Amino acid sequence: MGERIYLDWNATAPLRPEARAAMIAALDQVGNPSSVHNEGRAARRLIEEARERLAALVGAEPRNVVFTSGGTEANTMALTPALETPERKSGFDRLMVSAVEHASVRAGGGFRSHHVEEIPVTTEGLTDLQALERRLAELQQQGARFPLVSIMAANNETGVVQPVEAAAALVHAGGGLLHVDAVQVVGRIPFDINRSGADLVTISAHKLGGPQGVGALIKRSADLHLAEPLLRGGGQERGARAGTENVAGIAGFGAAAAAAGATLAADGERMRSLRDRLEAALANGPTVVFGRDAERLPNTSLFAAPGLRAETALINLDLEGFAVSSGSACSSGKVAASHVLAAMGVPPDLGSGAIRVSIGPATRENEIDLFLKAWMKLLAALSKRQSGLAA
């Protein structure tokens, strides 16, 4: 087998050199960041420098960045009835999530299942804002206290960018708060927590070239209080998340965030060009690209060919040297039907064959061309098989 080609950046991005260097330097640093001696203070400085870098990337205040073990923990931490603001101490009694959310959001966090409901999406995979507005009005009429709404910034499978700003305006008018899972967006396209209107934002290190196992929950306002932390103990992270911080991982996260921010515009332009090159070639055959008419991340394409199963495609492409995905990579290695495509109304026979290609700043033009050659080879074999069955 020749050189392998990695086209699964939405699952995890390769570690950036800047992140690797920061982590190695941090591993040489002795000291618990909660200790008051010189070594402890040095470790603390690494964490606070990273906190400042993450805050700068999304336009937040450093004190509002809470480090976690990853995106799933940050999502679970955010989705709790025990959110408090100066005006509201009674908590939240309803969680509303879009139909295309990540599994960690669909699980409902600290809400009981009968207090969690789904917001439908359009055929392009966009959150149905009219449905959201109607439901918020109904909840107010029913005397529901405060709804918490969770809508991702961009879908991990289709790359469709969600109308977060418009949703935030509706949610706030309805007396609620908005949580945004932005793990696929931050570091790929500009995202500003203040402009978005989101009250809570989740990001993850390994999606933007940092290490796996580190994430962050970011608050827009310091007045928003997590009254019941998931982890209780020594009071780290200003009491929001107990446990000794992962100093090396956090240092790598901060370095990756700074590196991503420095080349954001140029990287986005280049990835969009490569994605468009891919999809222009796919348009010459029977392949269907999902969410094509919506605004999408510049690096993501989800597509399928009628009659081609995802399992078959993944095995063949892997043998040809390509790392791609059938959608979300957070399902213990399973190839399962996509709830995202089902919510978009895609027929099961077509949706079951969906393949996701997600690229990054290091992806080369010839890698796209080689993938297209392998994909066309698959389609030719499928066509020959179908012709044989019809004969």
| Residues noted as catalytic | 330
Cα atoms in the Cβ-side hemisphere of radius 13 Å centred on 141:
6
User: CA-to-CA distance for 375 and 273, rounded, in angstroms?
Assistant: 19
Q: Is 279 exposed, middle or buried (0-12, 13-18, 19+ CB in 10 A)?
A: middle
Please answer whether residues 72 and 42 qualify as being in contact, where contact means their C-beta atoms are separated by less than 8 angstroms. Answer: no
Give which of 375, 371, 383 is closest to 306, Cα–Cα: 383
Classify residue 243 as exposed, middle or buried by CB count within 10 Å of its CB (0-12, 13-18, 19+): middle
3-state secondary structure of 22: helix
Q: Tell me the three state secondary structure of residue 103.
A: helix
Which residue type does 245 have?
A: E
- Residue 134 exposure: Cα atoms within 13 Å on the Cβ side: 7
Query: Which tokens hold the place of 319?
Result: 């043998």
Two tokens, residue 80 = 């709790």
Q: Residues 6 or more apart from 336 whose CB is under 8 A from it?
A: none
